[in-house]
Amino acid sequence: MGQDPLFLGHISIGVIVIVLVKVLVAFAALMVAVMLMIWFERKLISDMQNRIGPNRAGPWGLLQTLADGIKLFFKEDLIPEKADRFAFKLAPYLVLVPALVAFTIVPVGGVVHIFGHTVQLQVADPPIGILLLLAMSSISVYGTMLAGWSSGSKYPLLGSVRASAQMVSYEAAMGLSVAAVVLITGSLSTRAIVTSQAGAFFHIFPKWNIIRLGVVPFLIFLVAATAELNRPPFDLTEAEQELVGGYVTEYSSIRFALFFLSEFMNAITMSAVIVTLFLGGPDGPNLGGPSFIWPILWFLIKTGALLFFYVWVRAALPRLRYDQLMDLGWKLLIPGALAWLLVVAAMQVSRIYGLVLFVVFAAAGAVLYRAIIIGRETGSESEVITTFRKLPAAEPIRPEGD
């Protein structure tokens, strides 16, 4: 099937056992990681907001997530009267399963030898590799969409329409920045992407894709992934002030827990994928000890750093408005990713082509930007703005004594 050395020879019971063990370990590790991630996020946010955060269950509140999970398990499972029962029950799984599957392609470590088998430390290394991530993120749109629609209530529907529009629009930018990585690697397989990033320029700078591609695709992917995850500052889908709870409003008990589980699982998977694509995956110096342990440690450190970044962003940035979100996605990220992809492609041909193309795109972008500003100043304004202008001006508040 693929390039996985495990499947090259005769497929025996041993190989099947190894695959099953890999799946089980990945599943368990992901669950524990989600538990720790929720605790980590709550603790960190409360530190940043000068609070204490969960501190009752277990040491430093570590078991808080477990307690919450058990509580949710035993709560009453409600299905609204107007709900479409089939879709309502299906939706949480449509969100959860892609979140689990997407993690399988992430290489968490190097290659080890067990009982004469060569085993890659990742659940699967399919030839389509990174495309599986895009496929899974496009499937999880269904879960969000159906959850909102099937609730038979208006706020969830609004939330789900927002969410799916957001996910669909940011997928394009995400795909284009992945294309830049694939272009420079020459393969879709995540293992190949990671191995191509080993080594260093001048023995100092790691040969990671973030440096090889210029930082732009990394930034675009980071923003697009945040939007894809519906995490702050792109969490319009569950904007409490406007939409009650977004598409999860009507959910309760374990179904609600499944939504939150998959949301945090997606955050972890996305961080791991960013590490794989741009930060060299398990690549890092070996500082002594058994050789298989360091790649795993480096992978965990990098993923943890990205997760810290996500929490930090949540604490620091205010939520975007819907039109700002769409403007950012369609007018900045997609053209930017496309232009950068073409520059990278031209660089593959020759450096001069690449530089010329870069200058051309920079000039074109500057002209376009200026044109938009001039258009805004002189031309007709958009409908929304004209309507706002026509509203009667608010009466000035006069001081009492006047």
CB of 133 to another protein, least distance (A): 10
Among 295, 303, 294, 300, smallest CA distance to 272 is for: 303
Number of DSSP helices (H) and strands (E) in the chain, helices first: 15, 4
For another protein, give the closer residue by CB, 19 or 297: 19
Residue with tokens 């992430």: 106
Burial grade of 67 (CB within 10 A; 0-12, 13-18, 19 or more): middle
Binding mask 84-123 for another protein (x = CB under 8 A): x-xx--x---------------------------------
Residue 222 in tokens: 């980071």
Binding mask 368-397 for another protein (x = CB under 8 A): ------------x--x--xx--xxx-----
CB of 152 to another protein, least distance (A): 10
Per CB under 8 A, 21 contacts another protein:
no
Using only the alpha carbons of the chain, give its radius of gyration: 24
Q: Are 328 and 169 in contact, with CB atoms under 8 Å apart?
A: no
Whole-angstrom CA distances from 295 to 195, 207, 224, 371, 387 are: 12, 16, 27, 49, 58
Interactions with another protein, residue window 262-321 (CB under 8 A): none
Per CB under 8 A, 80 contacts another protein:
no
For another protein, give the closer residue by CB, 86 or 201: 86
Q: Which residues pair with 117 in a beta bridge?
A: 114
Count of residues in contact with another protein, rule CB under 8 A: 39
CB of 194 to another protein, least distance (A): 16
Per CB under 8 A, 349 contacts another protein:
no
Whole-angstrom CA distances from 227 to 78, 169, 179 are: 30, 9, 18
Query: What angle (nearest 5°) sits at the alpha carbon of residue 322, between those of residues 245 and 386?
Result: 130
Per CB under 8 A, 127 contacts another protein:
yes
Binding mask 140-179 for another protein (x = CB under 8 A): -xx--xx--x-------x---x--x---x--x--------
For another protein, give the closer residue by CB, 318 or 379: 379
Q: State the distance between the two ends of the chain, measured CA to CA, in whole angstroms.
A: 85
Interface with another protein (CB under 8 A): 1, 3, 8, 11, 13, 16, 84, 86-87, 90, 126-128, 131-132, 134-135, 138-139, 141-142, 145-146, 149, 157, 161, 164, 168, 171, 186-188, 380, 383, 386-387, 390-392
